Structure 1
Amino acid sequence: MTLFVFLAVLSAAAMHAIWNALVKVHLDRFLSITLMTLGMGAAALVVLPFVEMPKAEVWPFILASVFFHMGYRTFLIGAYKAGDFAQTYPLARGTAPLLSALGGIVLVGEVPAPLAILGIVLLSIGTLVMSFRGGAHLERLNLRAVGFALGTSIFIASYTLSDGSGARLAATATSYAAWLFVCDA
């Protein structure tokens, strides 16, 4: 992995954590997510003149991904309303790679290398442990928060698989992402 790729991944992770923290602490979570989604759509709108229009076979993946992103945001808001951020965020994010890998194997026929499987399992175990530690001050397990967090994870895995498949069919990944963000907004 090059230094540029490492820094890009690290930056993306930091931005994602900040985005989720802003959603958690904002008084109107629906409004804050809506404004962030509209902002991403506006930024992507500027890119559209420079990328190809997706082919017909790409549109079902974009539309499915828009649906999955709406489900993700709805369940994320529910998780943050129902439970503690330190518990729901790691649970939602920690199970998504495992579900994505399983979905990739079953639905796409993509089997990760053994080292990748080990990494996914270790990541999932680590984030699950974080979610239990994050809920240590709670008197009992909040099943509503856990349900919303796991639902969020299912939607994350779903849009991950949809986006991966759609981006492979598109002229470029940038074209797919730009059109997805505009449609999502």
Structure 2
Amino acid sequence: MPTSVFIAVMVAAALHAGWNALLKIGLDRFLTASLIQIAAGLIALLALPFVAFPVAAAWPWIALSALLHIGYNVFLARAYQHGDLGQVYPITRGSSPLLVAGLSLLWLGDTLSTGQFVGLLILVGGIWLMALRGGRQAAPLNLPLLGSALLTAAFIAGYTLSDAAGARLNQDALSYSAWLFAVNGVVMAGVIALRRGPRVFLQLGAHWRGGLGGGALSLLAYSIVIWAMTQAPVALVSALRESSVVFALLIGYVLLKEPMPPIRLIACGVIVVGVVLMKLG
């Protein structure tokens, strides 16, 4: 993986952890997630006049990704109802890279060196170590948390592969990303209107500043990832992005006053080793 792509993905990881932290701050996490995606869609709409219209072959993937993002937002918000950021985030983000790796090697024809694959396994192991042993001592891993988090991971893997295929077919990552977020924003607005009624938008209006901030972070972070997936194997990009758990840990500790058990620090060290091996491999 080129160094420029590696650095870009690490920046995207930090940005991604930032907007996920906002989900724990909102009182209604599903509405917070929806607000962020709608805000990202509004920002993307402003960019549409300056990007190309996606090719016909990319549109089925944009539509599929928008549908998968609905499931992602629903189950991510549900998972945060049962666990803290430092536990939920590692499970959701640590489970998808193996799914992405296996499917991308078979479906997209990507290849990994032995060193890169070993690094991926070590990184995922560090993430799971943080998830299983790093939560609150008084709040052990529970089935509602585990089920929601694993379903979230499945949706992550699904839309990651969908967007990799779509962006590569489009041959213009910026165009694909802008239209994807615009469509996704419209879809999420429709979903919450159906689930909560049109008056829900009055409730969201009071939080527009946080929504725009989270939307901008989400749009920038995933746009970088989409571009990176056109430059490097999807499995590498997907796994490196999940090093965002380290940034999420720091956000949870500093801003959300979540615990920092020694095991989480050890897990961070394991993740860093995996990242280094993936870069050098």
TM surpasses 0.5: yes
User: 1:132-160 deviations in whole A, cap 9, x for unaligned?
Assistant: 12235146530110111111111111111
In the alignment, what sits opposite 2:202?
none
1:24-63 counterparts in 2 under 5 A?
Answer: 24-63=24-63
| Identity, % of aligned positions | 47
> What is the CA distance between 1:107 and its match in structure 2?
2.9
Deviation string, structure 1 residues 50-87 (Cα, Å, up to 9, x no partner): 22111221111001100111111111011101223221
TM-score (norm 2): 0.61
Please say if 1:84 is aligned against 2:121: no
Kindly report which structure 2 residues correspond to 1:124-163, keeping only aligned pairs within 5 A, or say none: 124-135=124-135, 137-138=137-138, 140-163=140-163
Alignment pair present for 1:16 and 2:16: yes
Tell me if the contact between 1:103 and 1:157 (Cα under 8 Å) persists in the aligned partners. Answer: no
The range that moved more, 115-124 or 156-165, is 115-124
Deviations 1:1-49 (A, max 9, x none): 44x5555333322221111111022111122112211111111112211
Q: Pairwise mapping of residues 87-102 of structure 1 onto structure 2 (< 5 A)?
A: 87-102=87-102
Deviating more after overlay: 98-107 vs 169-178: 98-107
Query: Distance between the aligned counterparts of 1:177 and 1:65, measured in 2?
Result: 11
Q: Within 2, Cα distance between the matches of 1:55 and 1:8?
A: 26
CA contact (8 A) 1:90 1:130 kept: yes
In structure 2, runs of 5+ residues without a counterpart are 186-281
Contact 2:87 2:130 in 1 (8 A): yes
CA RMSD of aligned residues (A): 1.7
Instruction: Write the distance in 1 (CA, Å) between the matches of 2:17 and 2:78.
Output: 17
Count of aligned pairs: 184
Contact 1:52 1:171 in 2 (8 A): no
CA distance in 1, matches of 2:106, 2:160: 14
Q: Which runs of 5+ in 1 are unaligned?
A: none
- TM-score, normalised via structure 1 length: 0.91
CA displacement 1:110-169 (0-9 Å, x = unmatched): 332222211211111000000012235146530110111111111111111000000001
Change (3 A) 1:32 1:141: closer
Compare 105-114 and 174-183 and name the one that shifted more: 105-114
Measure, in 2, the Cα distance between the counterparts of 1:113 and 1:73. 33
Amino acid at match of 1:126: G
Q: Which structure 2 residues correspond to residues 114-129 of structure 1 after superposition, within 5 A?
A: 114-129=114-129
Aligned equivalents of 2:138, 2:113: Cα separation in 1: 38
Aligned letter for 1:128? W
